[in-house]
Structure 1
Amino acid sequence: MEGYAMKYRLLGENLQTIRKARGMKQQELADQIGINMQSLSKIERGLNYPTFETLEKIMNALGITPNELLSGEWSHTDHAEPFLIDVIRREADFDVSLDTLHENEYFQSHEQWQYYMKDKLAEYVRNYLDDTKTSIEELLELKQLVQRQKTERLLKMYKELHSLDRYGEQPQGYVYDNPYDDEQLRELADIGRKRNIPDVSPQSDFDEEDYKHYLEEIGFAKPRR
């Protein structure tokens, strides 16, 4: 009996710790799982053990796994595991879907596949950019990543040119058929359109209507003064 009492107490202590970490009151959790507050209090104090159905409702309400609730002492970092695993799985599914997209029999031409691929990649990036929870710091990190990628592509072409001039052959794994082609260099540097690096002129391009929509999305009815 002492072993069972220890398990009851451990579950109750973990449940109470997790509930408080989630900022939930006893009554709030009791209402969500469909029991009265006195019953929940007894579970948290280790006096009662919940039924399987109640235990399942508790885990769903708190967003935790059985292992987090029943094994050892709960730590504040454990609850991140299911979220981490879920996002890694979904990101991996997305990557695999894109990697095998060119094999899909739906597409009748390379151009169709390329169009769809770019559309999905643009949607992925756009969803990230449009998320109101995305901070300016995150966007600055993304900017730095894009800047490095653009520079590395130019450096890769420069290495091909240097290798051809010095050794008469290109390094293995390099992709440009004719690195002397100025048109390819112009495309990489965006010389013709010059649209990949935007002007920063809020006096002329700050859009009040877009700003109002943004305020609505983040929960502000009107701009703060």
Structure 2
Amino acid sequence: MSSHFSSPPRPNPSGPKPARSPSAGRPHGAALFWVVTIGAWLPLLILAFDAFTGRLTVNPIQAAEQRTGDIAITLLILSLACTPLNTLLRWPAVLKVRRSLGLYAYLYAFLHFLLFIGLDYGFDAQLLLQALKEKPFILVGLAGFILLSALALTSFDYWKVRLGKNWKRLHRLTYLINLLIVLHFGWAVKGDFLRLQGDVFRPLLAGLGVILLLGLRLSPVRRALAGRLHFLLSFRKPRPRQ
């Protein structure tokens, strides 16, 4: 008679070995959580150290703004990559850090915003309004930040239950937010994308990354790539001995 507490049958050493999961060798659970946590806080500690020791550029406020903005974009794109990574690589652990990545992205976006309106413009409403008129990329970034604020504030389980189906509709704005932030980034660095002159590499890379990740969410693309990937991984399965 079998029992839930009985020892499982020993595998036949001469039989086929189970195929490795596509996510084998990647961080799981707590390990991935600590990778994300340390990776998110470390840049802020380095920025604080550089600021207090005078290691920033001759324009430290601008340097701090640019660095917090770069980190916010990076974390935002990484949060967008979680679902495609799980779909293609069968890596469910990455979904557990998706919200953390989004919240860390918002933390850096908030610091970026605070540095801009506080240290750069001294909380002067008149100067800020003038900047919005003269620099449209600020308006684009502000729109992205406001939408990101709504997602960050409603990312917790309480709002997920309270909003019901509307919660999912609201959080689909993450696609628009990524596009707005990349547009803000590319516009702010004043690169010439038509002639590929100036600082165009970083915003172009970020834009291509966002477009690729959005494309991977389309059902036909997702099914085709997942099928090809699983087909290729099937060749790694050891054949049973005759």
TM bucket normalised to smaller: 0.3 to 0.5
Compute the TM-score of the two structures, normalised by the length of structure 2: 0.31
User: Whose relative contact order is higher, 1 or 2, with alpha carbons under 8 Å and at least 6 apart?
Assistant: 2
User: TM-score w.r.t. structure 1 length?
Assistant: 0.33
Structure with the largest fraction of helix:
2
Rg larger for = 1
